Amino acid sequence: MPKVLIICDDFRMGGIQRLALDQAYELNRRRESCRILVLGVMPDSLTSSFEKSEKELIESLGIQITYLPGSRIRQYINLRKLLVEEKYNYVFGHSLRGTVLTWLIRLVIKSNLTIITTIHQLPSMSDKIQRVRRMVYSQFSDKLYIYSAVAKKDWDLQRNQNPFIWLISSRKKIELCRNGVFIPRLSLKEINFESQSKIIKRFVFIGRLTAWKGLKTFLDIAQLPQFKNIEILLVTPTDPREFIINVDKNLIDRISCEVGKSLSQINFYTGDLHIYPVNPTAIDSEFFVEGVSINVLEMACLGVPSLITKGGADTWPELVDFGIISEVDWSNLSAVAKIIDRDITVPPAKVIELCRSLLDIGRNLDFLLKE
């Protein structure tokens, strides 16, 4: 029976933490021993975190979350003690620091545990020194994965165009491992899947308030004349008021906000449309197109269609085939509006069943734990 230690750098709200917690949920649901280890301090009362927003679910499933702040030496000592006492079979490294620490400890204690590392960032999003460091640290894994097809292309490009990076990263090649969602935490009770309505009643934005997440583009779409009666929901980890204070009053009156909540705590309805206008030009990478985030996967499991950046569905082409996501060019808002009016419908129940089967976090775990 697998006994898994999942290591993260921090436990604020984000895609890495979402995946790590969903992996822990599924492992504990399978009655396989699991703990999340965080190489940092516990988020304070003012910082949004899944540990706070999903407190009841974490407690009901018996998820252990341990914080290990302090110096590298202190972390090494405490992690070594934990690995010796608990005798884990696997370490899931969502932290490259955690991967290296585990590898060094394994040398000393002569454990046969397997280190499985997942890369969650494009190399091009790091500066050159950090990029080289990440490539080096990745080689301390037994199995090395990356979260999207686009990110793998970027990783391979960085290796192939630099002989030094190619040399230092030749021990362990990287593979694609698609993310997943712990389905039981998402409720379907508010969605009427049998209604093939084409009427969109609310636009939904989910994400951090950074330039590349595209809040400005989202608001520009919402202000188009044909959408003047559409309600707007902003789901963000921090208060968005300073970003929307100067927008048109008609727009302000239509906006409601959910701050610091996981999607499990929010009601979504028939007629919702998730708009995810990632701006590739905000990132210096020829490959950067983040079309299908974990939020998009969650929305698909809830029966809410998403608009994503053109070219962003490489990792999940099935979702395009299912009609649950549509790719658009954000530089042409009139074309985006036509797609919303013409193509977006509430998906039928059979499509949601297909999405939930495809996106189940169990598939992600089975792939990671394969021999």
Q: Which of 234, 176, 213 is nearest to 288 (CA)?
A: 213
pLDDT at res. 46: 85
What does the alpha-carbon distance between residue 259 and residue 330 come to, in Å, rounded to a whole number? 25
Q: What are the residue ranges spanned by the domains of the chain?
A: 4-182+360-368, 185-357
Position 193 scores a pLDDT of 47
**What letter would DSSP give residue 282?**
G
Kindly indicate the confidence band of residue 161, based on its pLDDT and cuts at 50, 70 and 90: confident
Q: Give 256-275 pLDDT, tens digit per residue.
A: 999 989 898 898 988 899 99
pLDDT at 346 over 70: yes
Of the candidates 294, 211, 282, the one whose C-alpha atom is nearest the C-alpha of residue 14 is 294
The helix or strand, by DSSP H or E, that contains position 175, with its residue range, turns out to be strand 175-176
Please work out, in degrees rounded to the nearest 5, the angle formed at the alpha carbon of residue 368 by the alpha carbons of 363 and 371: 110
Residue whose token pair is 């808002």? 333
Beta-strand relationship, 272-275 and 306-309: parallel
Q: What is the pLDDT of residue 85?
A: 96
Instruction: Indicate the helix (H) or strand (E) that contains 68.
Output: none
Amino acid identity, residue 26?
Answer: E
Is 61 strand, coil or helix?
Answer: coil
Q: pTM of the predicted model, to two decimals?
A: 0.92
Predicted pLDDT of residue 291 = 67
CATH number of 185-357: 3.40.50.2000
Residue 194 has pLDDT above 70, yes or no: no
Check pLDDT > 70 for residue 179. yes
**Does residue 323 have a pLDDT over 60?**
yes
pLDDT value at 311 more than 90: no
83 falls in which pLDDT band (50, 70, 90)?
very high
Positive or negative, the CA dihedral 120, 16, 358, 276 is negative
Q: What CATH number does the domain located at 4-182+360-368 have?
A: 3.40.50.2000
Residue 132 has pLDDT above 70, yes or no: yes
Are the C-beta atoms of residues 234 and 301 closer than 8 Å to each other? no
Check for a shared fold between 4-182+360-368 and 185-357.
Answer: yes
Q: Rounding to the nearest 10 degrees, give the CA dihedral for residues 260, 323, 327, 283.
A: 40
